[in-house]
Amino acid sequence: MKSINKMETITMIPDNGHNVCSQPPKPRPETEKKYREAVELYATTSLSCAEICRQCNVTVSGLSGHICKYHRHLMLARNGIECSPEKASAIRMDQRRGQKPSTHAKYKEAIAACGSMDYLEYNVSQIAREFGLSGTDLGRQLRTHYPEVLEFRERARQHLGLNDNLPRGARPWSKERYAGAVELLRGDRYITVQEVAERCGVSYTGLEQHLIFYHKELIDNRIKIRKQAVGQQRKGKITGRGSLHAPKPAIVEKYAEALHLYRTTPLSARKIARQTGLPIKGFYRYLQTWHMDLVCARRNIPYEEEQSVDFSKARKYNPATKVKYADAIRRLKQSDLTTAAVAAEFGLQPECFRQYLKKHEPELYTRQGMAQTENGRAVSRRSMAKYAEVIRLYGSTSESLRSLARRFGLNDCSLGQFIKRHFPEAVEEHRRAVERDREYEATDAASVSVPASSPAARPVTAAKYPDATPSRRAEKACAGSMKAKTDVPPENRPSRLTAMIRMENKVVRHG
């Protein structure tokens, strides 16, 4: 039966035909100069990397990466593995979880012997004395990191008849002592072993050894849960360290009053921090870390757990301003009053109120800016107030649109487009008024005796351009008459006296 070789965790990288670099890589001169003092301290002292970095003013990650890449033999020497710089790059440290490299190097030969058939007739204590080790320490290493070796030895010794008939497993009094702690750990994955030991009144190291020896599946399950939680910081959930991701009780107590004010009043976080004597940055960080839902609620942003929040699209305003306009907005929604009327009712500045509505209540602002006409069309209130009198006159008289626009100081094109879009019935009424005036003029002219050659004696005919507006028909008719006059030969044109008579008749006709 072959020995267990998978315990050999410090291995050499084999040569698979590729050229393995025998010389360690060399850093750049400026990098070597930067870390020279730190590397000397690392090689000559037992200071930690963090302490060396504080003394030499370099970063921990930078020094660790530099030593691992360019001075690997020093790192191995610190872990009890002596080798040359050329061979250091081929050695990998793959010790078990919770086992130091130096401890692995110390017990690896004895553990390999425990898994070999050559030492099967010896017990663990005898093998430990063979290698100058403590039997208790070797047994602890086997139970903690290599339980498969003990299982192999037990099966092999029973098969060969070398069983010593000694009891195996946990003692009854040990099971009874740690039963409550084990049940608590099985039922609550957020609690740590140390907290369970303090709550149950047992030894922390004893409980830890009991779990490692006799409840290996519980330890593996907790390790698996922590691995899945690595890098996930969810409020109220377990982290990779096994602790609950939640603020400490002292921090909760420190910010309790400020949080209550932030939740129940419209004061800003800066004012609350000043009022309660807290650091502004600390209060901001506390809100962003543990109460992001309140921050999003203040800014009207939908909040979901584990989802990033885009504050660039949020409307920025003071919560006190929201309270200031809250009653006016409610009144505006429940009534048909204008914005100016509501602003006057609550003592607000109308233009500032409109700007606030435009930014934070766009739907209400749009609704307030529109009015409904009698025919059900939605028009702008401002335009309606501007054109109301003109529209009334245009629909009830025959005065041209251009004349009305000039009288009220308006743009005739804008006025015409507004009437066509929103008041087509006014256009129809204006056309009828013009037709009535023309019929009246024709009847009045027929009752006056005029020469047969006078234009007033001509019969009234239908409008030549029925689809055009009255002003446009007048322009076309005038252009046609001028063209007719210029087309008449000189010998057929009326005399000056006849022209004067026609002009007088026209004056009389139009009053």
> Contacts for 373-377 with beta carbons within 8 Å, 24 or more apart?
373/422, 373/423, 375/425, 377/422
Does residue 149 surpass a pLDDT of 70? Answer: yes
DSSP for residue 346: T
Encode pLDDT of 101-129 as tens digits.
778 778 888 998 988 888 888 888 889 99
pLDDT value of residue 444: 65
> What is the residue whose two structure tokens read 């750049």?
28
Computed from CA positions of residues 44, 47, 49, 55, in that sequence, does the dihedral angle turn out positive or negative? negative
Q: ∠ at Cα 299 (298, 300), nearest 5°?
A: 95
DSSP for residue 238: B
Give the mean pLDDT of 413-434: 83
- Average of per-residue pLDDT values in the chain: 76
Cα 396 from Cα 389, distance rounded (Å): 11
CA 20 to chain centre: 48
- Of the candidates 232, 250, 249, which has an alpha carbon nearest to the alpha carbon of residue 241? 232
Give the mean pLDDT of 406-413: 84
Encode pLDDT of 322-359 as tens digits.
778 888 888 888 887 778 888 888 888 888 887 888 77
Helix, strand, coil in percent for the chain, rounding step 5: 65, 5, 35
Does residue 193 surpass a pLDDT of 80? Answer: yes
pTM for this model (two decimals): 0.39
b/e per residue 460-489 (b: at least 16 CB within 10 A): eeeeeeeeebbbebeeeeeeeeeeeeeeee
CB atoms within 10 A of CB 301: 16
DSSP 3-state assignment of 61?
Answer: helix
Higher pLDDT, 422 or 60: 60
CA 24 to chain centre: 46
